[in-house]
Chain A
């Protein structure tokens, strides 16, 4: 069974600080997505990474996919209160004998980020 572990579970920081959140698995994924979810809303896709070692930047957000495609990180530079939310990683594909499938996403539990002004 594919599992994604996210850490930390909760993170509270001051505006302007940098932070990194992690998404780890013992399984290989064909692709990994990062979502942000606000209360009462559905997850909104931030980025998709596919290639091992891939790095993608989205303004102040930097996403990295591990070389072995088992882990990923999200780094936020100079966090702002508007970055507050639940950050979810989700993987798809991978080895069929570990439950991998191109049809479904396996989600982590998320990191709840609070950026205080």
Chain B
């Protein structure tokens, strides 16, 4: 079964550094998402992306964050200047459409970002 793949599985970076988290969504999917989960907290929506533009973003997704689909297969999340509080598990997800029944959201296994 097709799956969403994320790399790396674990990224350690120093505060103030830029990081890029990479995702390959399922190939025929049109909607792409980033969520994050701070240890012990709930999964939080960051951003949704459709038709090469952001369709919705949360308050968490400030100017330090950006997303890109550079080549039609990859979907990336960039954090320009990481802060300690950015440490979390970042999940990429994709879906074919926005219908609840026929377009379930598929999650990758996440990238654990540790900011020191």
Contact call B98/A42, Cβ cutoff below 8 A: no
Contact call A106/B100, Cβ cutoff below 8 A: no
Interface residues in chain B, defined as those with a beta carbon under 8 Å from any beta carbon in chain A: 4, 31, 33, 35, 41-45, 48, 50, 55-56, 58, 91, 93, 98, 100-101, 104-110
Residues of B within 8 A of A48 (CB): 100-101, 104
Q: Quick check: is A101 within 8 A (CB to CB) of the other chain?
A: yes
Residue of A nearest to B46 (CB): A104
Min CB distance, B67 to chain A, in Å? 14
Interface residues in chain A, defined as those with a beta carbon under 8 Å from any beta carbon in chain B: 30-31, 33, 40-45, 48, 50, 88, 90, 92-93, 101-110
Secondary structure type dominating chain A contacts: strand
Residues of A within 8 A of B107 (CB): 42-44
Contact call B91/A42, Cβ cutoff below 8 A: yes
Contact call A103/B31, Cβ cutoff below 8 A: yes
